[in-house]
Amino acid sequence: MKTLNTLLRGTAVLFILTVFSGFAQDTTSTEFEPVYITITTAHWNPDPDVNFDDWKATEKEYFDKVTMKNNLILSSGYYTHYFTPDNSEIVLVNVYKNWEDIEAANEKSNELAKAAWPNEAARKAFFDKQAKYYSPQHSDEIYISLPFTFDAQVESEEPRVVYVRYNEMSLNGEGNPSLMKEYFEKVTKKLSSLKAYYTHRHLWGSDSRQMAEAYFYDNLADIEKTFDEIEKLEKEAWPDEAKRKEFMEQRDKMFTGKHSDYIYRTVPGLMK
């Protein structure tokens, strides 16, 4: 099984590097090093007898004793449903330096859990309690980051709003990735209400065409405000209407035109 996993991993990495290489070229003055992102979408337990009042306290205990002490997990966060097709969703995102660290981090977390709850019975009781908040159903995806990132976040005691846009890539070899960098520099980075912006694309999961953009805001109203600001910044960046239209058409050749939208909330105290 280990040999098969290694072969599958190598095939996935070879595929993604072929598609990804265009994004990595000529993006910044320093060499870009992508990170690896795991996204686990879990679901709340529908049992009405499950008490959720101390869910955050339970996860906070694990977060402080394990996640925060695991140096292989670069960042981590929980995201809850706000406007998505499924109100039972709760999403856990972890970021790692490389694929190997994904596996190594699991082993490290197990070691930290044993140190945090040295008594086996107490450890089992804690994890049994933690598991009761969720249904058995979940899905896992692995993404790789793209060079277009903006982060001006400061720690907040209030939940932030995260607008996630999943774009469908055409994968036909058309389009110029450098146009995405130009748009990022001239428009996205200048959005006044934007607290952070991350891009990543499929590495291992259900759809190889996925390229995601995650926008972080203080509140829902700032998303609508951004739409108006985008139009203004586009006109400032490309004042000639014909040239602006041509730029957008060339940039959009990388995508099929199909996309989906999701809005989540962050969980303060469970963000690394």
pLDDT at 27 over 70: no
The C-alpha atoms of residue 262 and residue 85 are separated, in whole angstroms, by 8
Q: Chain centroid to CA 5: how far?
A: 24
Q: Chain centroid to CA 132: how far?
A: 25
The C-alpha atoms of residue 232 and residue 132 are separated, in whole angstroms, by 49
User: Are the C-beta atoms of residues 80 and 43 closer than 8 Å to each other?
Assistant: no
User: Are the C-beta atoms of residues 36 and 144 closer than 8 Å to each other?
Assistant: yes
| pLDDT score for 28 | 41
Structure tokens at 13: 């990495």
User: Are the C-beta atoms of residues 235 and 139 closer than 8 Å to each other?
Assistant: no
Using the 8-state DSSP alphabet, how is residue 133 labeled?
T
CATH of residue 125's domain is: 3.30.70.100
| pLDDT score for 117 | 98
pLDDT per residue as tens digits for the range 212-259: 999 999 999 999 999 889 999 999 999 999 999 999 999 999 999 999
User: Are the C-beta atoms of residues 143 and 200 closer than 8 Å to each other?
Assistant: yes
The C-alpha atoms of residue 200 and residue 37 are separated, in whole angstroms, by 8
Which residue from 13, 30, 29 is spatially nearest to 21, judged by alpha carbons?
13
pLDDT per residue as tens digits for the range 129-178: 999 999 999 999 999 999 889 887 777 788 999 999 999 999 888 878 88
Which of 29-33, 51-55, 84-88 tops mean pLDDT? 84-88
The C-alpha atoms of residue 108 and residue 73 are separated, in whole angstroms, by 10
Confidence (pTM): 0.86
Tell me what the pLDDT averaged over the chain comes to: 88
Domain limits for position 157: 2-271
Per the structure, how many domains does the chain have? 1
The C-alpha atoms of residue 141 and residue 92 are separated, in whole angstroms, by 11
At residue 183's C-alpha, the angle toward residues 179 and 186, to 5°, is 135
The C-alpha atoms of residue 99 and residue 3 are separated, in whole angstroms, by 16
- Return the SS3 of 86: coil
Q: How far apart are the first and last CA of the chain?
A: 33
User: Are the C-beta atoms of residues 169 and 201 closer than 8 Å to each other?
Assistant: yes
Which segments of the chain does DSSP mark as H helices, in order?
Answer: 2-24, 55-65, 99-116, 120-131, 177-186, 221-237, 241-251
| pLDDT, average across residues 50-77 | 95
Residue 252: strand pairing partners = none
Give every CB contact of residue 229 below 8 A, 6+ residues apart in sequence: 191, 192, 193
| pLDDT score for 9 | 41
